[in-house]
Amino acid sequence: MFDDEEPIVSFETPVGLHDMCIEGRPQDEAQPMDVQVFNIRMANSEGRREAASLLIRKMYGWRGYAVEHTVHQEPNKILLYAETRGVTVGTMSLCLDGSAGLPADENFRDRIDELRAQDRRLCEPSRLAIDKGVSKRVFASLIHISYIFAHNIHGYSDYIIEVNPRHVMFYKRMLGFTDFGGQRDCSRVGAPAVLLRLELDYMREQIRRFGGMFENSGTERSFYPYFFPVRDEPGITARIISGRS
């Protein structure tokens, strides 16, 4: 276990709902039987990066994708992870565009350069892996924290993301991504990929409208009600900055 790092954010979810809990995990005697606590942290240590890498290999390998065996520390990239009871259950990387480019340049450089020519500031979420049965709030929290890091702290304007064709509708429906690059072969994972784009000003507006409303979201079916409310963003921002120092 790695419990010496303060979390960026922690939250509780009910245990017992099929889509809101990790299946088959032992209960922690120190917390109520009907509550599960998740912590989101930045992976600043080799041990945490390896734990995230293991989850990536597990979830991508289960789908038949090829992935590298290590997650490298890079100056233009952050690695976030979610854990509960010392077990890593979710992870994602966020790469900021710069002199080294973005992972998606390998397959979609021509389309990405079109956005650069428009002075758009790009970043790429990648290596997103969530263990089976984990709360929807874990997925939403990782994305929201990456948004705060990219948009609120560093002023980036767009997400671009490569996804398998069968996941395209999920990202469109749940987060509002749009088609941008068509379908090509992704050499990194040995599978087809579609390039999608999301303007972060759109994400900001959806967070303002729906963030924190997962218990009272009405007919809204996106993931935005599972994001944090806007009032929580200043505290999250301060903890992200502290974690990077």
Find the mean pLDDT for residues 196-204: 98
Q: State the pLDDT confidence band at 26, using cuts at 50, 70 and 90.
A: very low
The larger pLDDT score, comparing residue 100 to residue 56, is at 100
Q: Which has more confidence, 23 or 143?
A: 143
Of 30-44, 47-61, 191-205, 224-238, the one with minimum mean pLDDT is 47-61
167 three-state secondary structure: helix
Mean pLDDT of 44-54: 53
Name the residue among 51, 22, 52 with its Cα closest to residue 36: 22
More confident residue, 101 or 18: 101
Q: Confidence band (pLDDT; 50, 70, 90) for 223?
A: very high
Least confident piece of the model among 52-66, 89-103, 113-127: 52-66
pLDDT exceeds cutoff 80 at 45:
no
Q: Which domains does the chain have, with CATH numbers?
A: 9-244 (3.40.630.30)
pLDDT at position 75: 65
Q: Is the pLDDT of residue 215 over 90?
A: no
pLDDT cut 70: percent of the chain above it: 75
Mean pLDDT of the chain, nearest integer: 81
pTM as predicted: 0.81
Supply 32's token pair: 């109520």
Least confident of 84-93, 104-113, 137-146: 84-93
Which candidate, 55, 81, 56, places its Cα nearest to that of 66? 56
Looking up tokens 């790695």 gives: 2
Residue 23 and residue 133 in contact, taking contact as beta carbons nearer than 8 Å: yes
